[in-house]
C-alpha cells in the first residue's frame, strides 16, 4: 500500500449534503426506447446513434456538463493513437474532432497560419494532436443533441444520479434517478438500459454480476496480472485542473489544508517510487526507473526533459491573433496528482466522499507547490504568477467538475478480453512470432482502437504497469453481461480485465463502445431481437456488423497496420 494509506491525511469535514441528509419530494415516470445512465463520452455516443436511428432516449448525467473525460473531467487533450487523423476511429468521432476545429476557425481570432491548418491543434500540446478547451467540446456535443432536445426525442437529466433499479429475473424493468439539486426521484422505463456511468453504477443496483480490481494470474493467465486477486486494487483517479501564467503577478492561493502531508509524501510502491510525490521526477512508466521532468510556464525548452507545461497545453497563444490570450493555458493531469490512497469502488458514501476530497486536496497542493516551491531554471523556487482557471473548467476553484476515472466495475461478460488477445508479448507467446504481430481477430468485432496498455499507480501499492499492445478490435461479447438480457455496457465497465482495461479506457475507444451500444439497442428494437441473440446467430451478427459499418464504424484495421 502507499504510505498515504498508512499515514492518515488531515481530517476532512463533510457537509450535510455530502452525507445525504435529504427527504424525497416527488416521484414521476418517464418512458423511452433506451435509458442511458451517464452522459460521458460513451453515453453521448450511445445517445447520438440511438437518436439518429429514431429511438426515444433518456440520458442522465451527474454533473451539469455532458462529455465525460473530454469536458467535465478536464481531459480535453484526448489520448489517441498515431493514425487518428486518417483512420482508427468511428466516422462520428472524427466528425466530433473536425467540429471542434471548425468551432475555433469560426469563432476565434486564429492566425492565418493556424486557420489554414486542417489539423489545427489549438493548444499545440505534446500529448495529443488536438488539445482544446473543455467548453468547446461541450458546445459541439450540445449542438449535436440540440435538435433532439427540441423535438422531445431526447430527455436530458443533468445533475441526476441513479438511486435504484427494478429487476425481474434477468431483465431490468426500471431505474430510479435522483436529482442532486432537489432530491426528487424519477422512474425511468425502457426496453433497454445502457450503463455509461464512470464507475459502472448500474451493476450493483441491478444485481448484474461484475468484478473489480485486479484478477490473479492463475485466473486469467495474463503475463502482467497480479499473483493474487485484489478486488479493491484499482487505478488512481485524478482531479485535473487548468492554469495559466501571468509573469510579474501574484495569484497565490490559500495554503491547502493537507499541503504538508502531500508535500512530504513519499509513496510506498512496488517497485519503489522515485522520491517525493510533489517533485519534478517520477517513475518512468515503461522502465520504472526515476525520470526527471521539466517545468517552465514560459514555454521555454527544458533541455532533454519534457516540459510539463507544454504536455497538456490546451491554448497556445501563438495560434491566435496577438494579444487575444494573455498567456497559454494548460491542463494538469500529471503523475504528481494521481490519487491512489483510497479505493472508491464499492465503498460507503462517506469513504467515497473522503477519497474525492483528498484527491482535490492533492491537486490543490500540487498547484500551491508549483506556486511556492517548484524549482525554477534560474535557481529560484516557485511561480506565483500561476493562476487557476475555473472559467475553463466551469468551477469556482479551477479543478475539474468530476475526477478523471481510469477504472470501473466491469461486467462478467459474454466474452472477456485478456492480455493474450491484445498484449504484444503475451500475444507472441500464444500465437507465435508471426501471428503475434497483430491482435486477436474477434468474430463479433464492433469497432477498433489502439493504445499501449497503460495502468497508473493503484490503491494496492503497485507502480505503473505499461507495455506494448497491438491495434485491436472491440468484441460485442464484451458489452454484454453473461446473464442480464437488456443491459448494455458502454464505458470502462465492459468485459476487460484489470490489465486490458489499460488500453480500452481511452477517449476514442470509449466513444466507439458507446456508439456501438446505441446502435445495438436500435438494431435489436427494429428487428425484434435481443443483443445476445444478435451475437449468437452468425447471419444476424453479420447483418448487424454491416449495419454499423454503414453508419461509419470500422470493425477491422487496414492491412497497412496489421501487415496482412
- Whether residue 403 contacts residue 256, with contact meaning beta carbons closer than 8 Å, is answered with no
What percent helix, strand, coil does the chain show, rounded to 5? 30, 20, 45
- Whether residue 413 contacts residue 480, with contact meaning beta carbons closer than 8 Å, is answered with yes
Q: Where are the alpha helices (DSSP H) in 479-558?
A: 501-504, 507-527, 531-536, 538-550
- The answer to whether residue 128 is domain-embedded is no
Would residue 394 be called left, alpha or beta, if left means φ above 0 and alpha means ψ between -120 and 50 degrees? left
Same domain flag for 368 and 503: no
Domain, as residue range, for 29: 23-121+134-205
- The answer to whether residue 159 is domain-embedded is yes
Closest Cα to residue 165, out of 211, 201, 212? Answer: 201
Would you state the cell numbers that stand for residue 417, as one nine-digit string? 478480453
Same domain flag for 191 and 260: no
How many independent structural domains does the chain possess?
A: 3
Cα R_g (the chain), whole angstroms: 23
- The answer to whether residue 129 is domain-embedded is no
Domain boundary pick from 393, 425, 440: 393
Would you state the cell numbers that stand for residue 537, as one nine-digit string? 446467430
Same domain flag for 179 and 69: yes
Same domain flag for 83 and 70: yes
- The answer to whether residue 223 is domain-embedded is yes
Domain holding 181: CATH number? Answer: 3.50.50.60
290-299: pLDDT as tens digits: 999 999 999 8
pTM to 2 decimal places: 0.94
Kind and range of the H or E run holding 188: strand 185-189
Burial of 445-466, coded b for 16+ CB within 10 Å and e otherwise, reads bbbbbbbbbbbbbbbbbbbbbb
Cα distance between residue 413 and residue 481, in whole Å: 4
Domain boundary pick from 361, 393, 425: 393
Same domain flag for 269 and 388: yes
What pLDDT does 433 receive?
81
Same domain flag for 285 and 215: no
DSSP state of 469: B
Q: Where are the alpha helices (DSSP H) in 373-402?
A: 390-393
Would you state the cell numbers that stand for residue 299, as one nine-digit string? 514555454
Same domain flag for 441 and 520: yes
Same domain flag for 319 and 419: no
Same domain flag for 302 and 412: no
Same domain flag for 282 and 411: no
Cα distance between residue 226 and residue 235, in whole Å: 13
Same domain flag for 150 and 214: no
What pLDDT does 141 receive?
98
What pLDDT does 562 receive?
85
**Pairing, β 210-211 against β 192-195:** unpaired
- The answer to whether residue 517 is domain-embedded is yes
- The answer to whether residue 78 is domain-embedded is yes
Closest Cα to residue 397, out of 247, 254, 237? Answer: 254
Would you state the cell numbers that stand for residue 237, as one nine-digit string? 483517479
What pLDDT does 27 receive?
67
- The answer to whether residue 127 is domain-embedded is no
pLDDT tens over the chain, length 564 residues: 333 333 445 444 433 333 333 444 566 999 999 999 999 999 999 999 999 999 999 999 999 999 999 999 999 999 999 999 999 999 999 999 999 999 999 999 999 999 999 999 999 999 999 999 999 999 999 999 999 999 999 999 999 999 999 999 999 999 999 999 999 999 999 999 999 999 999 999 999 999 999 999 999 999 999 999 999 999 999 999 999 999 999 999 999 999 999 999 999 999 999 999 999 999 999 999 999 999 999 988 888 899 999 999 999 999 999 999 999 999 999 999 999 999 999 999 999 999 999 999 999 999 999 999 999 999 999 999 999 999 999 999 999 999 999 999 999 999 999 999 999 999 999 888 877 778 999 999 999 999 999 999 999 999 999 999 999 999 999 999 999 999 999 999 999 999 999 999 999 999 999 999 999 999 999 999 999 999 999 999 999 999 999 999 999 999 888 877
What's the half-sphere exposure (Cβ side, CA atoms, 13 Å) at 536? 9
User: Per residue, what are the HEC states of 308-358?
Assistant: HHHHCEEECHHHECCCCCCCCEEEECCHHHEECCCCCCCCCHHHHHHHHHH
- The answer to whether residue 400 is domain-embedded is no
Same domain flag for 67 and 200: yes
Cα distance between residue 480 and residue 529, in whole Å: 14
Domain boundary pick from 205, 225, 249: 205
Amino acid at each position: 500500500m502507499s504510505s498515504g494509506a498508512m499515514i492518515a491525511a488531515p481530517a476532512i469535514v463533510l457537509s450535510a449534503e455530502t452525507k445525504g441528509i435529504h427527504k424525497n419530494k416527488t416521484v414521476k415516470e418517464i418512458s423511452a426506447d433506451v435509458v442511458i445512465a451517464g452522459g460521458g463520452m460513451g453515453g453521448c455516443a450511445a445517445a447520438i446513434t440511438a437518436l439518429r436511428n429514431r429511438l426515444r432516449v433518456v440520458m442522465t448525467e451527474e454533473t451539469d456538463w455532458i462529455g465525460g473525460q473530454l469536458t467535465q473531467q478536464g481531459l480535453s487533450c484526448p489520448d489517441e493513437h498515431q493514425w487518428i487523423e486518417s483512420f482508427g476511429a468511428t466516422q462520428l468521432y472524427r466528425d466530433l474532432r473536425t467540429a471542434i476545429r471548425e468551432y475555433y476557425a469560426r469563432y476565434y481570432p486564429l492566425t492565418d497560419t493556424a486557420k489554414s491548418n486542417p489539423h489545427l491543434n489549438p493548444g499545440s500540446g505534446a500529448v495529443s494532436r488536438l488539445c482544446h478547451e473543455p467548453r468547446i467540446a461541450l458546445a459541439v456535443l450540445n449542438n449535436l443533441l440540440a435538435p433532439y432536445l427540441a423535438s422531445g426525442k431526447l430527455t436530458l437529466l443533468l445533475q441526476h444520479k441513479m438511486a435504484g433499479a427494478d429487476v425481474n429475473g434477468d431483465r431490468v424493468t426500471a431505474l430510479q434517478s435522483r436529482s442532486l439539486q432537489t432530491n426528487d426521484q424519477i422512474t425511468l422505463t425502457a426496453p433497454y438500459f445502457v450503463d455509461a456511468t464512470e464507475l459502472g453504477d448500474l451493476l450493483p443496483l441491478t444485481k448484474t454480476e461484475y468484478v473489480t480490481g485486479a484478477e490473479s494470474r492463475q485466473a486469467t493467465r495474463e503475463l502482467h496480472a497480479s499473483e493474487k486477486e485484489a478486488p479493491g486494487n484499482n487505478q488512481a483517479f485524478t482531479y485535473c485542473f487548468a492554469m495559466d501564467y501571468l509573469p510579474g503577478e501574484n495569484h497565490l492561493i490559500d495554503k491547502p489544508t493537507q499541503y504538508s502531508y502531500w508535500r512530504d509524501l513519499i509513496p510506498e510502491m512496488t517497485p519503489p517510487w522515485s522520491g517525493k510525490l510533489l517533485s519534478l521526477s517520477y517513475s518512468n512508466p515503461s522502465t520504472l526507473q526515476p525520470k526527471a521532468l521539466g517545468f517552465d510556464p514560459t514555454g521555454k525548452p527544458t533541455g532533454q526533459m519534457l516540459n510539463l507545461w507544454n504536455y497538456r497545453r490546451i491554448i497556445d497563444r501563438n495560434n491566435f491573433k496577438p494579444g487575444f490570450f494573455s498567456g497559454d493555458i494548460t491542463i494538469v493531469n500529471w503523475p504528481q496528482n494521481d490519487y491512489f490512497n483510497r479505493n472508491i469502488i464499492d465503498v460507503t458514501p462517506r469513504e467515497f466522499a473522503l477519497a474525492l476530497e483528498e484527491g482535490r486536496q492533492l491537486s490543490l497542493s500540487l498547484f500551491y507547490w508549483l506556486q511556492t516551491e517548484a524549482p525554477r531554471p534560474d535557481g529560484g523556487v516557485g511561480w506565483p504568477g500561476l493562476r487557476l482557471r475555473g472559467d475553463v473548467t466551469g468551477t469556482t476553484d479551477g479543478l475539474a467538475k468530476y475526477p478523471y476515472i481510469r477504472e470501473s466495475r466491469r461486467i462478467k461478460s459474454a466474452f472477456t478480453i485478456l492480455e493474450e488477445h491484445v498484449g504484444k508479448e503475451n500475444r507472441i507467446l500464444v500465437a507465435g512470432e508471426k501471428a503475434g504481430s497483430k491482435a486477436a481477430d474477434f468474430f463479433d468485432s464492433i469497432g477498433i482502437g489502439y493504445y499501449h496498455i497503460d495502468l497508473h499507480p493503484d490503491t494496492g501499492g503497485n507502480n505503473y504497469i505499461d507495455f506494448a499492445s497491438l491495434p485491436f478490435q472491440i468484441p460485442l461479447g464484451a458489452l454484454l453481461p453473461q446473464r442480464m438480457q437488456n443491459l448494455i455496457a458502454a464505458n470502462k465497465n465492459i468485459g476487460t480485465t484489470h490489465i486490458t482495461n489499460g488500453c480500452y479506457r481511452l477517449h476514442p475507444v470509449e466513444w466507439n463502445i458507446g456508439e456501438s451500444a446505441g446502435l445495438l439497442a436500435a438494431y435489436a428494437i427494429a428487428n425484434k431481437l435481443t443483443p445476445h441473440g444478435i451475437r449468437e446467430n452468425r447471419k444476424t451478427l453479420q447483418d448487424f456488423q454491416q449495419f454499423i459499418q454503414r453508419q461509419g464504424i470500422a470493425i477491422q484495421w487496414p492491412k497497412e497496420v496489421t501487415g496482412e
